[in-house]
Amino acid sequence: MKFIVNTSALLTKLQVVIGTVAAKPILPILDHFLFNIKDGILTITSTDLETSMSTTMEVQSEEDCVVAVPSRLTMDTLKALPNQPITFTLDEKTHAIELRSENGRYKLSGQPGEDFPKTPDLDSDTSFEMSSMTLLSSISKTIFATGTDDLRLNLTGVYVELFNDSANFVATDANRLVRLKRKDVKPGVEHSFILPKKALNLLKATLSDDDSVVKIDYNSSNAYFSFGDVKLICRFIDERYPEYGAVIPDENPNVLTINRMDLLNSVKRISIFSNKTTHQIRLKISGSELVVSAEDIDMANEATERLGCAYEGVDIEIGFNSKLLMDILNNIDAVSVRVELSEPSRAGIILPDENEENEDLLMLVMPMMLNSPSA
């Protein structure tokens, strides 16, 4: 039983699904790709039991077959070979795999394809579509704000709220929050679920930045993404998401408008002089001037910069974690941003001065207690 395939073409396909393979799999077979050939079409699948990914390609084969192929060894071999046809020969009894190139022969040990975990079946007809560009943008603008604490598992993914004619993507780690409202997604139903970060990172690495269609199906436990010749299935995070709307201040009478890159670059420079544990910086706004400052008392370091801005409201002084603030500013595309504040002890809201078409983006960062007033 054998098939012939181009080394570069196969390697490209394997690189699409390798991200699903766990670094330390709990079962030996999870360190394998499933090769399933039917009617000259090779379907390649990988899984870590929580997330599964597959893609397809044409091969030269006169027989159907199924075998589990060691992932790292196969990829390392293909990377080391020049672009050329290569023949895979499979022993159905021992599951041994022989690769023959133009000048070489390589043997590796496979496993029975029947032992590979089955991918979850879709037992629901609930589905909707969105463009690849829209999904990619929605993931990119929210995933950075997800948490990393496994003790708060519900915060480690992106919360998706579906409505008849729109969708919300929400992420928070309890210190910052992002809410992206999409008006160009029409799910036609009302539902919500939490997508895990690993699956979202795989989508982010695989989706194309164009108008091609992504079909999204889901049931009570899994989401199914289909685009091009790629399919990704992921299990939802089975936790309750917090009532995030409660932390968004309703009234924010103090509004700062400033060039995003000017503020970002200033925060970058000033943060160099901040305390290396707290990363605290201070924003003092009065009139049409913003003063950005930081100090590290232990090291006797301090820095101050003054920026011009447009401001409406009372004079205010507030502290933020510079790393969180830079993350937020880096993930807004607008030329200018609005920083809406109520008081030093309440969250600051950061908005693009002009939203992109069909989206409404809100970012929020919690303040830090200032030890003493600035001079």
For 277-326, how does the pLDDT look when each residue is reduced to its tens digit (9 = 90+)?
Answer: 999 999 999 989 999 999 998 888 999 999 999 999 999 999 999 999 99
pLDDT at position 355 is 86
pLDDT single digits (tens) 234-245: 999 999 999 999
Last residue of a domain, one of 190, 215, 240: 240
Average pLDDT over residues 161-169: 97
Residue 76 has what pLDDT? 96
Using the predicted structure, report yes or no on whether residue 125 has a pLDDT greater than 80.
no
Question: Residue 264 pLDDT more than 70?
Answer: yes
Task: Identify whether residues 219 and 148 lie together within a single domain.
Answer: yes
Is 340 inside any structural domain?
yes
Residue 110 inside a domain? The answer is yes
CATH number of the domain that residue 222 is part of? 3.10.150.10
Final residue of a structural domain among 240, 257, 272 = 240
Cα–Cα dist 201/224, whole Å: 15
Domain count across the chain: 3
226 and 204 housed in the same domain: yes
For residue 75, give its domain range.
Answer: 2-115
Q: Tell whether 165 and 90 lie within a shared domain.
A: no
Question: Do residues 84 and 174 share a domain?
Answer: no
Percent pLDDT > 90 in the chain is: 90
Which of 240, 260, 285 terminates a domain? The answer is 240
Per residue in 185-215, pLDDT (tens digit) is 999 999 999 999 999 999 999 999 999 999 9
Specify the pTM: 0.92
Tell me: do 263 and 349 sit in the same domain. Answer: yes
- Reported as a pLDDT band with limits 50, 70 and 90, residue 375 is very low
Percent of the chain whose pLDDT exceeds 70: 99
Q: Do 141 and 210 have their domain in common?
A: yes
Lowest-pLDDT range of 21-30, 70-79, 237-246: 21-30
Segment 314-372, tens digit of pLDDT: 999 999 999 999 999 999 999 999 999 999 999 999 999 988 889 999 999 999 998 76
